[in-house]
Amino acid sequence: MKTVPKTKATKYNSPKRMIELSRRVTDKLNAHPHVQWLESPHAQLFVHQNFLSDADCALLIDMIEADSAPSSVYETMKSEDFRTSYSCNVKIDDPDIQRIEKSIADLMGLDNDHSEVLQGQRYEVGQEFKDHHDFFHESEQYWKNEQPNGGQRSWTAMAYLNEPEEGGATAFPNLDYQVKPRKGMLLIWNNMGLDGRPNLNTLHAGTPVVKGTKYIITKWFRLNRWHGRPVTITV
């Protein structure tokens, strides 16, 4: 696996604890009858084809749509120009959201309070999320702020809420994988390598939607407890 140059091991990125997490999650997922391992020597990726019910997909889409109304919205990443989709943090105190969040954390054997607030995204035709890593690049300025706020991102879970008519696949260029959106499907991967350090081969993109609309939810887990609260912007 291709990993980043060695940085100092701290409680915010501890490779030892990342390796423990990796074992815990892979054991849990490998034992699950409906989870498939997407075989790759370069990264740990899994898929659950039928994770979310149609009703849950519908209520999540409704929530993403409602959030785009000109009222009070949560917004964190809109400023990143490589991400042209519309994104929102869903209502964290909604009982359905809490149930869905818990079901993802339970499936993976991870603590829900180590994950960031569930994020919803809508991509219209032409919108995309260009090549990026979900882990934090520890040489960047933002890493200082993220350290006490849960530390490094460990695992990602993302679910497709619908199927755009064309385009919108999630591409992993270093792994030669393109995952085509399927309604209710959950895609899970480890952002760390087998050495417990950020794995550059997890580079991925939400490719442009060609026809239709794409809706997803993403959940990023941290090594430690996440204390972040979304910033509220009133439009």
Ligand X SMILES: O=C(O)CCC(=O)C(=O)O
Q: How far is the CB of 179 from ligand X (least distance, A)?
A: 7
Tokens 């490589």 sit on residue: 82
Q: How far is the CB of 69 from Fe ion (least distance, A)?
A: 26
**Residues 183-222 as x/- pattern, contact with ligand X by CB under 6 A:** ---------------------x-x---------x-x----
Q: What DSSP string runs through 213-224?
A: -EEEEEEEEESS
Do the Cβ atoms of 158 and 219 come closer than 8 Å? Answer: yes
Name the residue type at position 8.
K
Nearest to 63 by CA among 34, 103, 98: 98
User: For residues 101-160, which are near ligand X according to CB under 6 A?
Assistant: 129, 134, 158
Name the residue type at position 112.
N
User: For residues 17-76, which are near ligand X according to CB under 6 A?
Assistant: none
CB of 43 or CB of 216, closer to ligand X: 216
- Interacting span for Fe ion (CB under 5 A) from 17-25, 58-66, 131-139, 144-152: 131-139
φ, ψ (nearest 5 deg) of residue 143 = -60, -35
Q: How far is the CB of 204 from Fe ion (least distance, A)?
A: 6
Measure the CA–CA gap between 217 and 61, rounded to whole angstroms.
9
CB of 46 or CB of 95, closer to ligand X: 46
Count of alpha carbons within 13 Å of 22, Cβ hemisphere only?
22
CB of 19 or CB of 179, closer to ligand X: 179
Among 44, 152, 154, 170, binds ligand X (CB under 6 A): 170
Shortest-Cβ-distance residue relative to ligand X: 206
101 binds, among Fe ion, ligand X, none (CB under 5 to 8 A by kind): none
Question: Which residues share a beta bridge with 211?
Answer: 166
Among 56, 67, 128, 134, binds Fe ion (CB under 5 A): 134
198 binds, among ligand X, Fe ion, none (CB under 5 to 8 A by kind): none
Which residue ranges make up the site for Fe ion (CB under 5 A)?
Answer: 134
Which residue ranges make up the site for ligand X (CB under 6 A)?
Answer: 129, 134, 158, 170, 204, 206, 216, 218
